[in-house]
Amino acid sequence: MTTPFRPHPLMRGAHAQTALPALFRPSPFVDWRLDHLETQDGDVITVGHFGPEDGPVLALLHGLGGCLESTYLCATARRMAARGWHCVGVQQRGAGPTPNRLARSYNHGASDDIAWILQQLAARHPKVTRAAVGWSLGGNVLLKTLGEMGARAPVDAAVAVSVPFRLAPCVEHLQTGTARVYQAYLLKNLKAAVRRKHGPVPLPAGADIEKALAAKCFRDFDNAYTAPCNDYADANDYYARASCGQYLAGVTIPTRIIHALDDPMMVPSIVPEPDTLPANIELDLHERGGHVGFVSRNNSGLPQMWLEHIIGDWLEARLGAPEAAQAAELESA
């Protein structure tokens, strides 16, 4: 069952839905309590904690070029913490302003990192409900993780937003028309991260930093950098193995996928048919909404971030509201 989304009448187009919140919405301040997790291979992944320590746990996974300061992630953390959730922002390996130690970096297929982080959270918070939310790349790698882990997944529910179910068609699309603007913006951020990281961190065999920094499209960048740094044969191998669509049949927990058919970074043909998905996956498909946009209007006519409301509503409908939120509601009644 889907929940109606009605775009703000002044922001009906895909580009307005996508670009305006990303470029002009101030990022809400979140006073993250940082925790630097030492990985088994000698690297470090930073997570930030925010909200009630004893609340149910919600892991938040950013998209490509994102970090703990990403607007959508911070806004969701603030809203969910106010509802009584203990939010854990995951700054994936190599994301953020400080380079990681190894050549390896986060990518659409790095599900071993996400599985390890979710297991760490389960070990630290064994007696509470746990859930996860991922946007774009974060949603893709979350769904891949859940599909690979199946019944072993240490979370009780999940939400994924604007995911590239099949990467290769999206990469091809980003080389056409106005989609090239998004590709250029994302590549600029990725190249800045590469410059920060090398040479303090040596490149593996096969990686070519000059070609990566000169790349005009994702395929060239991924062939020169992403693939050799992350044990893929080449960009095609990366896209084939990392795309989340092929892993959805293995997802066993209640999961909602929110997606817009007008997403300007993707093509509608990548979206799986609902009847091919397991019964525990709800495909919430909308004609409009853009990429990680979904801006509606409130009763006063002002823009309202529909996603941030619906994520909390859906999770609590499946898992129950935190006790602190229930107590606050009773007191205000």
Residues annotated as catalytic (active site), given as ranges: 136, 263, 291
Q: Which residues of 102-111 are buried (b: 16+ CB within 10 A; e: fewer)?
A: bbbbbbbbbb
Decide if 170 contacts 186 (C-beta within 8 A). Answer: no
Cα dihedral 168, 171, 175, 177 sign: positive
Query: Strands 44-50 and 86-91: what pairing?
Result: antiparallel
**210, burial (CB in 10 Å: exposed 0-12, middle 13-18, buried 19+):** exposed
> What 3-state class would DSSP assign to 33?
strand
Task: Name the DSSP letter for residue 13.
Answer: S
For the residues of 119-179, what is the DSSP string, one character each? Answer: HHHHHHSTTS-EEEEEETHHHHHHHHHHHHHGGG-S-SEEEEES--SSHHHHHHHTTSTTH
Distance, CA of 161 to CA of 149 (rounded, Å)? 20
> What 3-state class would DSSP assign to 233?
coil
